[in-house]
Structures are given as structure tokens and as C-alpha cells.
């Protein structure tokens, strides 16, 4: 396993992991906060997202890719109705 990126908070790390999962790359999160007992300790070292060594290049490409522009198309129920 290799550290792919270090993030300052859990939300950013979770977003990166979601992008990796969508690309079919397994990842994990690690931090040094005494198992959640001392959350402030995580601020000093950040939160690391780790991947298998053989996936480091592909994972880097996924996270470095520019974000897609949002579509103007409504994505919802097939009939376009918001009510159930």
C-alpha cells in the first residue's frame, strides 16, 4: 500500500475515495488520531488515502482529472415528476 494523497479533512478524503471507487480502484483512509479518541491529533498529520502500489498511477490520474461540467438536463424520475 502507498499513500496517494493527504487531505486536511475527512470530507475531502471521502470525496477522493468516491472518485476512486467509481473508477474501480479500491482505496482506504488512514490517520493518526488514536482511533478517534484524539481527533485533534489528525490535524497534524492529515488524513491519508492509500491505494495498492500497482494502482498509484491510475489513481493519481483519476484525482488529477478536471471535474466534469454539470449537465442542464434534469436527472430524476423517468416521467420528470418530482412528486411520488
CATH number at residue 60: 3.30.70
State the pTM of this model.
0.71
Report residue 37's pLDDT band, with 50, 70 and 90 as the boundaries: low
Q: What is the C-alpha to C-alpha distance for residues 73 and 69, in angstroms, rounded to an integer? A: 12
The three cell numbers of residue 27 are 482505496
Q: Is residue 78 part of a domain?
A: no
Structural domain boundaries enclosing 53: 2-64
**Is the CA virtual torsion 77, 78, 83, 84 positive or negative?**
negative
Q: Is residue 37 part of a domain?
A: yes
Q: Is residue 73 part of a domain?
A: no
Q: What is the C-alpha to C-alpha distance for residues 64 and 34, in angstroms, rounded to an integer? A: 31
Report residue 14's pLDDT band, with 50, 70 and 90 as the boundaries: very high
Domains: count for the chain: 1
Instruction: List 30's β-bridge partners, or say none.
Output: 48
Q: Is residue 50 part of a domain?
A: yes
Average pLDDT over residues 55-69: 91
Q: What is the C-alpha to C-alpha distance for residues 19 and 38, in angstroms, rounded to an integer? A: 28
Higher pLDDT, 39 or 16: 16
User: What integer pLDDT is reported at residue 81 of this predicted model?
Assistant: 57
Amino acid at each position: 500500500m502507498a499513500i496517494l494523497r493527504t487531505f486536511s479533512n475527512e470530507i475531502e478524503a471521502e470525496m477522493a475515495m468516491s472518485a476512486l471507487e467509481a473508477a474501480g480502484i479500491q482505496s482506504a483512509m488512514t490517520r493518526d488520531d488514536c482511533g478517534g479518541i484524539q481527533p485533534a491529533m489528525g490535524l497534524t498529520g492529515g488524513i491519508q488515502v492509500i491505494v495498492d502500489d500497482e494502482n498509484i498511477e491510475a489513481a493519481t490520474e483519476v484525482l488529477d482529472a478536471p471535474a466534469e461540467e454539470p449537465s442542464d438536463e434534469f436527472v430524476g424520475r423517468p416521467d420528470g415528476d418530482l412528486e411520488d
